[in-house]
Amino acid sequence: MKTIVNLDVRLNALGHRNWVILADAAYPQQCATGIETLVAHAPHLDVLAELVEGFDRAPHLRPVACIDAELGFLRDDDIPGVEDMRESIRKKLSSFQIEETPHEEILENMSVAASVYKVLVVKTPCLIPYSSVFFRLECGYWGDEQEKALRARLETWWQQ
């Protein structure tokens, strides 16, 4: 089921330092000019699967999935269905690097990036708190170790 219009086109336009957010229903609409909000009228996990498939077709991107640390502490006694949701999110993200971070810290990191870089928010009707998934996009064909090696060579060159 396609719920995100022109997903491949949107992902092809994004790159290193952009963010894509799969948001639950309570996620606020933000007013920064670089933030685009889409409403997906489909189940949260279906939209997550669509995003994962889209990332698989975008070799220039290496998404790092940031999930709210709070999600790990919620129980079905708190909100029915949260334990299955948490397990399903983890399963769908099994091929990704996952960072668990407090919600407010993720929002702060994303907001700093949004002051300069594009953020795509895909909002679903999900009513489970802390179920949003934040994808910080890294370069898919250039990794952290390669960048460190390049910086070391540049440092040597600058010191000459």
Q: Does domain 7-159 have CATH number 1.20.1730.10?
A: no
Radius of gyration of the chain (CA): 17
Q: pLDDT below 50 — which residues of the chain?
A: none
Nearest C-alpha neighbor of 125 from the set 43, 47, 51, 46:
43
Q: Which residues pair with 143 in a beta bridge?
A: none
Residue 1 confidence (pLDDT): 63
- Per-residue model confidence as pLDDT tens digits over 69-99: 999 999 999 999 999 999 999 999 999 999 9
The pTM assigned to this predicted structure is 0.93
Q: Please say whether the beta carbons of 120 and 20 come within 8 A.
A: yes
Nearest C-alpha neighbor of 17 from the set 152, 112, 148:
112
Tell me the angle at which helices 44-56 and 82-92 cross, rounded to the nearest 10 degrees: 10
Q: Please say whether the beta carbons of 14 and 6 come within 8 A.
A: no
Residue 160 confidence (pLDDT): 80
Residue 3 confidence (pLDDT): 85
Residue 119 confidence (pLDDT): 96
φ, ψ for residue 139, nearest 5 deg: -75, 130
Q: Taking every pair of C-alpha atoms in the chain, what is the biggest distance, in angstroms?
A: 64
Residue extents of the structural domains in the chain = 7-159
